[in-house]
Amino acid sequence: MIAVLVLNGPNLNLLGTRQPEVYGATTLAMIENACRSHGAGLGFEVTCAQSNSEGAMIDLIHAARGAQAGIVLNAGAYTHTSVALMDAIASVEVPTIEVHLSNIHAREAFRHQSYIAPVALGQIIGFGAHGYILALDALKAHLGGGT
Amino acid sequence: MIAVLVLNGPNLNLLGTRQPEVYGATTLAMIENACRSHGAGLGFEVTCAQSNSEGAMIDLIHAARGAQAGIVLNAGAYTHTSVALMDAIASVEVPTIEVHLSNIHAREAFRHQSYIAPVALGQIIGFGAHGYILALDALKAHLGGGT
Amino acid sequence: MIAVLVLNGPNLNLLGTRQPEVYGATTLAMIENACRSHGAGLGFEVTCAQSNSEGAMIDLIHAARGAQAGIVLNAGAYTHTSVALMDAIASVEVPTIEVHLSNIHAREAFRHQSYIAPVALGQIIGFGAHGYILALDALKAHLGGGT
Amino acid sequence: MIAVLVLNGPNLNLLGTRQPEVYGATTLAMIENACRSHGAGLGFEVTCAQSNSEGAMIDLIHAARGAQAGIVLNAGAYTHTSVALMDAIASVEVPTIEVHLSNIHAREAFRHQSYIAPVALGQIIGFGAHGYILALDALKAHLGGGT
Amino acid sequence: MIAVLVLNGPNLNLLGTRQPEVYGATTLAMIENACRSHGAGLGFEVTCAQSNSEGAMIDLIHAARGAQAGIVLNAGAYTHTSVALMDAIASVEVPTIEVHLSNIHAREAFRHQSYIAPVALGQIIGFGAHGYILALDALKAHLGGGT
Amino acid sequence: MIAVLVLNGPNLNLLGTRQPEVYGATTLAMIENACRSHGAGLGFEVTCAQSNSEGAMIDLIHAARGAQAGIVLNAGAYTHTSVALMDAIASVEVPTIEVHLSNIHAREAFRHQSYIAPVALGQIIGFGAHGYILALDALKAHLGGGT
Amino acid sequence: MIAVLVLNGPNLNLLGTRQPEVYGATTLAMIENACRSHGAGLGFEVTCAQSNSEGAMIDLIHAARGAQAGIVLNAGAYTHTSVALMDAIASVEVPTIEVHLSNIHAREAFRHQSYIAPVALGQIIGFGAHGYILALDALKAHLGGGT
Amino acid sequence: MIAVLVLNGPNLNLLGTRQPEVYGATTLAMIENACRSHGAGLGFEVTCAQSNSEGAMIDLIHAARGAQAGIVLNAGAYTHTSVALMDAIASVEVPTIEVHLSNIHAREAFRHQSYIAPVALGQIIGFGAHGYILALDALKAHLGGGT
Amino acid sequence: MIAVLVLNGPNLNLLGTRQPEVYGATTLAMIENACRSHGAGLGFEVTCAQSNSEGAMIDLIHAARGAQAGIVLNAGAYTHTSVALMDAIASVEVPTIEVHLSNIHAREAFRHQSYIAPVALGQIIGFGAHGYILALDALKAHLGGGT
Amino acid sequence: MIAVLVLNGPNLNLLGTRQPEVYGATTLAMIENACRSHGAGLGFEVTCAQSNSEGAMIDLIHAARGAQAGIVLNAGAYTHTSVALMDAIASVEVPTIEVHLSNIHAREAFRHQSYIAPVALGQIIGFGAHGYILALDALKAHLGGGT
Amino acid sequence: MIAVLVLNGPNLNLLGTRQPEVYGATTLAMIENACRSHGAGLGFEVTCAQSNSEGAMIDLIHAARGAQAGIVLNAGAYTHTSVALMDAIASVEVPTIEVHLSNIHAREAFRHQSYIAPVALGQIIGFGAHGYILALDALKAHLGGGT
Amino acid sequence: MIAVLVLNGPNLNLLGTRQPEVYGATTLAMIENACRSHGAGLGFEVTCAQSNSEGAMIDLIHAARGAQAGIVLNAGAYTHTSVALMDAIASVEVPTIEVHLSNIHAREAFRHQSYIAPVALGQIIGFGAHGYILALDALKAHLGGGT
């Protein structure tokens, strides 16, 4: 089994209860279960984590180096403000796929910019909770498997 | 009694000792005491908290959902940089009043922008420690009481 | 009794009839009555004025010098375009509190800038007609009384 | 007969004498006569007004509410600077057609922006004095008649 | 009879079926029929054309030189991006009137800029299908007739 | 079988021969075959098209209305400049997924902006040819099937 | 005697009492007397006027056409915001010299821009009340006399 | 003989008849003849093409790969707006020299930017029709011959 | 006699021969003679200098410290680009009056900015050669004499 | 012995293992040892700390007040985004020297801005690990010793 | 023989030794010899000059007036910063051709702007040392000879 | 002994006499003596030079190639405006350390940008005259010695 980290950032612990017209009714626990289950089918042992703290997220990314083969990252609002997360991803050299639940390009202008994007392998945006599943598929393909 | 959160952000623990020509000589403890006392007169049970950590502040705002009827928030320097705090306030849907001790519009240009303002109920800026008292009055009026 | 000026700017004469979903159903006369009444309780003799003319507003501010101890000012749309009002307030050196009924930071970008803010004592934004009451309280505190 | 206001702003009283290479030789009186005459043919009782004062123009627009069914407005230079006129038009909810004699998009960059445009029914630009006639036709069509 | 071109650009073939809340229910065929009919009354032989291709539109404008006395142009989205159309209009020196169905100044910021405007005779914006009729009237007046 | 359009824009006909260090060695034919094959497994009848012409791409999108249930679109360089394609997608109301082979956010600044993104269902960026497969999966999920 | 207008704008009626560290202790009456006296020596009959109203200033400039041979204008804060004053000066074609008491280029950035400057004959900035005297001398030289 | 493409973009078919004060009286046919003739003297077989369509120009550039040793390109107005042409040139890796008849840097600001320049071998700007001759000479030198 | 420096910058040695429609027919020698003569009448011993070199101008300004009581400076094009001249003027603390022959605010945008202005005593702009005379008068008044 | 804090920010714990072509092979432990050792020679008792959390760094800076005589700070990526760290440094009034290992001005544009710089004593940038040694020397000189 | 000036600016004396991967191995002396030799064949007596001083370059351009019939100018880095050189070229009215060895549009953004371009006859960019030869040819054609 | 150049730019010859509250009381001669003396202790033969001329500074930097092993450069105001100095440093490939006496990041915005920084080895800013000593130490370490 290949170890993979699914890391969610600030406010995503509220998923399913918060602004459902934007983010849908699925809770974070449901997403994490789906990731573990779908990942298992791909040969991935998926570890899930969430934090509202930029520093704690950096620590988790550092810990992934050598421990996990890939990261699926929804950095939430830190996407738009955190150079430190950008540096963390660039430093650990673990392939990272950026996911957003909603279409950030159809929202406020300050959400169109991502510090994560230039150092990520790729982006999957706007498909709701299903985006995590697509990201795991993309990671599988990147690490050498088919779909 | 109605539960209310008074939440202060980074560096506000230094109040009264830091740059008194800008922020005045009142300490944070004095402000918190005044809030609790004035709040009691309005029928509010005021809980006070301060943190220098963006993530910890988000946690406190999340915890306010269902527990407190309103938030008086001085987010300090995170006012100008934190999309994550903005999202937290929008998510929990607890009416939040933004307070600043000094007139942020008479200071450096980067302090004129607030990510909190668009999601707050309103702003009270420039009245020093008395701004917290006005914010509690405003919250009282908003929640259905008079002055 | 301490003399105080409550000055309203362009289009505020239409209050209560205009875009009530933004500004509420309260009329200007109701606000002015509330100001006079609440002000009396604070020891203020409140004079109310409204004008759609920038020049007339400047004249009223000039006349406040020596005649009134404070100004509560809702400059309406001139807030965003009038350097001349800014200069008038700076010139007369009468403490001035800026009030806005709606949350200008949740509206069009050009309404986020205020030429009044840097020369005002402080700002009270987004609390509807109650903002004038809070402004009178803030003025009272500034001039040396409690709430 | 349907009452209609034709309102001209700053410097338009000089029409026909001022920079004729830009604005043509027609005077404001000639335009107003043509509006009254052409309007009569459309079933409009046209009232004409001109002012160099932003405040006076706002007063005229306020007065149009309930009194006139439409406004043909050439706000002149206030087009580019007056948020207060914009608010006045939005407030009174009388359909307003913006007219400019010259092609403002072929002139200085600061004349390309119009605060009136977003709240107007439409714009007619660059056809000289004939633009007012077209605006009356457009108003007629909007209010329920054909040409 | 004077020959006139009514030229519509990208996506306008979908009129009447597309986003009717923005563009109305009138189809392009209805507009073209109205133009031909109203034009005939003005002594115009109106030729109508539509293309989704910037190059084809340029070809049609070139062909108008010497063949048609005026152009009524709704360049659709190319209005905001096409320097080549701007050059084509400037080159052929056939008087051109810019028309837009909706009020482009009340929509996204990138729709506020028009490369066509500086080289057009004038603009008629926001009157729906009736704007074409007004444009033909304006063209008639420009070419030497009254309304 | 559900009809789906896979539409590629300018220069993508050169895939596999052009700048392989950026876009990889896979040819457009290989991608189109993979789409047809993978699509068939999802119950999709995939039609593939490519054009270097903005106008022709608009025509193809118009034709998809009523004929196809979804579009996978790599608009190539028109992504960054074409308001007309944006309007076409918004007009036809066929769910559209934006794909890019390379990570456009790690390239020149002018490639970071997408006119397609705000009107697309979502974006899949940076996964090379595999991005089309992921887009078909995402479309399947959106249209009501699982992966 | 040649008639000349010395026109002062908003807040300049407060001169000598307002922010003397910026504008000096000289009152407007003293400046106007000096202008009349110095002007007389140059063969000028100097009329002085001041208004806080943009519209009234435009009226005064219009009235100068045919009545006065030159204008010395300190438009105060309207310098930075009034396109209408700019148009008035351009319209009447009376040579106008722009004066500012303080060095506007050593103050806030928004005071560096002048709408008056491009249509004025010239600018005299930063010499306090003496600037009006220099402006009259400059006007004398321009109208055909020496110093 | 070495095959070379001389490709002209939108509106250049009008050369000699359009705005001769800007572009001169030489027609496109004359330029193409001069290119063929001068090219022959350099050992070049010159093929000439012109199109008003961005897509057709891309097709011609693609076709040059393997068929022609160099391109002399005047992309006209597409110079300033077409990322797709930029990509086409970068893709085919045929050395391309950018030519402009007039000095684009002495015209409107939006003509100062060229998407072609960064991927071209070099630029020759402002020498009228003679610029094509210089470009052929430059291409000759680049491909290994002297002048 | 009080020593004063009149310093002219790049290209001003060409005065009278260069672009006379912009700068007039007066030569630099004529201006310098007029300065010496008018200065003598004010009790000034005027030294004149001109250089095309930024470094040489800085040397001359340094040399003025202690040697001259004031500087009349037309820094020509260095006005808009030289922080070093700005620093030189601020360093020597000799009162400096900035002069420009033409109205720089009616020319290209890059000529509207002056690095000299914030550190100068004042500016005299747009009066041609007479501006130097006015500057000497202004210097006289500043140093304690009348006109 | 004088107490001094050497504080490192996000991702600097990875030093020596992360992107050695940018940051070199020296580990953080080696730098901290060198600081302690070199500091001892200067009479400094050096305390070293590192955190990935902005809030924790603020806490450490607060704790330095009264406890340490100076701070050597490499705030890593927070340099470019943290107003809160800026406020913390300004608040505690402990002289702080900003250090960066690499030349931030030769990297991405967003790394050129430092919120730390305006409130720091000075900056030492681009000398790798040796920059900390230079910073301790600079601090020694500032606190009253020589090198 | 017609006199022509070939003028090179700062750092071009280092040509052939400096960054050969950008500028090639040809020395300035080789370029100057080639210019003299090729110029002689065109009937030009070519004078060559180089200076690192902006002021000295201006002096040389001034001296060219009346003495030389054309200038081939590579202003090096002053291209991007010198308004004074721009003015010098405009003043002397000697036709000037701007040359750059490398493709300045493929380098840093601040090298894309040229103050020389708007006042030059034309630009030849990116052809290395051969650009000077092309410039002499272009000058020949401009002055009335063929190639 | 290793030869090293200490080069100072415009206005630094005035050090110790100019604005001592910004730059301190130390003269340039004192700094140069300290550099020579401290340099000798490091095995450096330090040559000192100062010029107010950009061109002369470029000449000195060129001369350093092959003659000196390193440069300590305080380019003064040219830091912010001189692309030519930037090119000179990049050309000669002599390691260069940028020094500034005052904290340029705590001064006007135009002093925050440095054209020198991207091509320098590193920067030492804000330590007054001691910055030169630190720069020599840094150069020593860079060239292979310890402190």
Domain of H19, CATH number, reads 3.40.50.9100
d(CA B131, CA L124): 43
Supply angle C-alpha D147, E1, E6, rounded to 5.
60
Q: With an 8 Å Cβ cutoff, are F80 and H82 in contact? A: no
d(CA E78, CA E11): 10
Residue G11: its chain C contacts at CB < 8 A? 58, 62, 84, 87-88, 91
d(CA B112, CA B132): 20
Higher pLDDT, A23 or A58: A58
What separation in angstroms does the CA of D57 have from each of A32, D71, F13, H70?
61, 12, 60, 64
Per the domain annotation, does L47 fall within a domain? Answer: yes
Closest residue on chain H to E83 (Cα): H77
- pLDDT number for residue C107: 92
The model carries a pTM of: 0.94
Q: With an 8 Å Cβ cutoff, are B78 and J84 in contact? A: yes
Over residues C15-62, the pLDDT tens digits come to 988 777 777 789 999 999 999 999 999 999 999 999 999 999 999 999
Per the domain annotation, does B39 fall within a domain? Answer: yes
Q: With an 8 Å Cβ cutoff, are E83 and H11 in contact? A: no
- pLDDT number for residue C55: 97
- pLDDT number for residue L145: 54
pLDDT tier, D94 (very low <50, low <70, confident <90, very high otherwise): very high
Q: Which chains touch F (3 or more CB pairs under 8 A)?
A: A, E, H
Higher pLDDT, J94 or L19: J94
Three-state secondary structure call for residue B99: strand
Which long-range contacts link B15-20 to residues 24+ away (Cβ below 8 Å)?
B15/B101, B18/J91, B18/J92, B19/J90, B19/J91
Q: Kindly report the nearest CA distance between residue H84 and chain F, in angstroms.
A: 5
Per the domain annotation, does B32 fall within a domain? Answer: yes
Per the domain annotation, does F32 fall within a domain? Answer: yes
- Give the β-pairing of J70-74 and B96-100: unpaired
- pLDDT number for residue I145: 54
Residue F54: its chain E contacts at CB < 8 A? 52-54
Report the share of chain A in percent with pLDDT over 70: 98
pLDDT average, residue stretch J100-109: 94
pLDDT average, residue stretch D62-83: 96
Q: Kindly report the nearest CA distance between residue D57 and chain C, in angstroms.
A: 9
Q: With an 8 Å Cβ cutoff, are L58 and K18 in contact? A: no
Per the domain annotation, does C25 fall within a domain? Answer: yes
Task: Using the predicted structure, report yes or no on whether residue G145 has a pLDDT greater than 70.
Answer: no
Query: Is G78 a known active-site residue?
Result: no
Task: Using the predicted structure, report yes or no on whether residue D147 has a pLDDT greater than 50.
Answer: no
Task: Using the predicted structure, report yes or no on whether residue J32 has a pLDDT greater than 70.
Answer: yes
What separation in angstroms does the CA of K103 have from each of A99, D16, H142, K28, K106?
39, 53, 14, 18, 6
What is the count of residue pairs from A and J with beta carbons less than 8 Å apart?
A: 55
Task: Work out whether the CA dihedral E39, E43, E45, E49 comes out positive or negative.
Answer: negative
Per the domain annotation, does F147 fall within a domain? Answer: no
- In the predicted model, what is the mean pLDDT of chain J? 94
Amino acid at F23: Y
Q: Which chains touch L (3 or more CB pairs under 8 A)?
A: I, J, K
Per the domain annotation, does G147 fall within a domain? Answer: no
Give the residue ranges of DSSP H helices in E7-106.
20-23, 28-41, 54-64, 83-92
- pLDDT number for residue G20: 78
Q: With an 8 Å Cβ cutoff, are G147 and I141 in contact? A: no
Q: Which chains touch C (3 or more CB pairs under 8 A)?
A: B, D, G
- Give the β-pairing of K2-8 and J122-125: unpaired
- pLDDT number for residue B25: 85
Q: Kindly report the nearest CA distance between residue F145 and chain H, in angstroms.
A: 36
Per the domain annotation, does A61 fall within a domain? Answer: yes
- pLDDT number for residue A146: 44
Supply angle C-alpha J70, J74, J78, rounded to 5.
120
Note whether L53 and I54 are within 8 A (CB).
yes
Q: Which two tokens stand for residue L101?
A: 């006496």
d(CA E77, CA E10): 7
d(CA E48, CA E33): 9
Q: With an 8 Å Cβ cutoff, are J77 and A81 in contact? A: no
- In the predicted model, what is the mean pLDDT of chain I? 94
Task: Using the predicted structure, report yes or no on whether residue A129 has a pLDDT greater than 70.
Answer: yes
Pick from B106, B93, B83: nearest CA to B61: B93
Residue F14: its chain H contacts at CB < 8 A? 62, 91-92
- pLDDT number for residue L19: 75
pLDDT tier, B145 (very low <50, low <70, confident <90, very high otherwise): low
Task: Using the predicted structure, report yes or no on whether residue F44 has a pLDDT greater than 70.
Answer: yes
Say which residue the tokens 């509807």 belong to: C128
Residue H13: its chain E contacts at CB < 8 A? 62
Note whether A80 and A110 are within 8 A (CB).
yes
pLDDT average, residue stretch C115-138: 97
Task: Using the predicted structure, report yes or no on whether residue G105 has a pLDDT greater than 90.
Answer: yes
Query: What is the residue-wise DSSP string for K62-73?
Result: HHHTTT-SEEEE
pLDDT tier, K116 (very low <50, low <70, confident <90, very high otherwise): very high
- pLDDT number for residue K119: 96
Strand partners, K2: K44
Q: Per residue in D109-127, is it b (16+ CB within 10 Å) or e — as a string?
A: eebbebbbbbbbbbbbbbb
Higher pLDDT, G15 or D19: G15
pLDDT average, residue stretch H68-86: 97
Residue numbers of F annotated as active site: 23, 100
Q: Which two tokens stand for residue G1?
A: 């005697």
Query: What is the residue-wise DSSP string for G62-81?
Result: HHHTTT-SEEEEE-GGGGGT
Task: Using the predicted structure, report yes or no on whether residue I146 has a pLDDT greater than 60.
Answer: no
pLDDT average, residue stretch F93-115: 95
User: Residue G1 class from Cβ within 10 Å (0-12 exposed, 13-18 middle, 19+ buried)?
Assistant: exposed
The total domain count for chain J is 1
pLDDT average, residue stretch D40-65: 97
Q: Which of A54, A55, A76 sits opposite B87 (nearest CB)?
A: A76
ipTM of predicted complex: 0.92
pLDDT tier, K113 (very low <50, low <70, confident <90, very high otherwise): very high
Note whether K83 and K50 are within 8 A (CB).
no
**Mutate: best of G38, G86, G108, G124, partner I, most I CBs <10 A:** G124
- pLDDT number for residue J147: 42
Q: Kindly report the nearest CA distance between residue J45 and chain B, in angstroms.
A: 26
Task: Using the predicted structure, report yes or no on whether residue A16 has a pLDDT greater than 50.
Answer: yes
Q: Kindly report the nearest CA distance between residue L59 and chain I, in angstroms.
A: 14
d(CA B141, CA B75): 22
Query: Is E112 a known active-site residue?
Result: no
pLDDT tier, A144 (very low <50, low <70, confident <90, very high otherwise): confident
Q: Which chains touch J (3 or more CB pairs under 8 A)?
A: A, B, L
Residue D80: its chain G contacts at CB < 8 A? 83
How is residue C103 annotated by DSSP? -
Say which residue the tokens 């007369």 belong to: C92
Strand partners, E71: E5, E96
Pick from K30, K39, K20: nearest CA to K135: K39
Q: Which residue range(s) make up the domain with C99?
A: 2-142
Supply angle C-alpha D105, D108, D113, rounded to 5.
55
Task: Using the predicted structure, report yes or no on whether residue C2 has a pLDDT greater than 90.
Answer: yes
d(CA C16, CA B141): 19
Selecting among I23, I78, I115, I132, the annotated active-site residue is I23
Closest residue on chain J to A115 (Cα): J110
Q: Which two tokens stand for residue C17?
A: 């009839």
Task: Using the predicted structure, report yes or no on whether residue E65 has a pLDDT greater than 50.
Answer: yes
pLDDT average, residue stretch G85-105: 96
Residue C50: its chain D contacts at CB < 8 A? none
- pLDDT number for residue A98: 98
What separation in angstroms does the CA of C101 have from each of B98, B116, B120, C31?
15, 18, 14, 11
Selecting among B78, B100, B115, B132, the annotated active-site residue is B100
Say which residue the tokens 């090729």 belong to: K38
Selecting among I78, I100, I115, I132, the annotated active-site residue is I100
pLDDT average, residue stretch B86-94: 95
pLDDT tier, J145 (very low <50, low <70, confident <90, very high otherwise): low
d(CA J32, CA I18): 66
pLDDT average, residue stretch J6-35: 90
Strand partners, I106: none
Pick from G134, G129, G131: nearest CA to G24: G129
Q: Do chains H and F touch (3 or more CB pairs under 8 A)?
A: yes
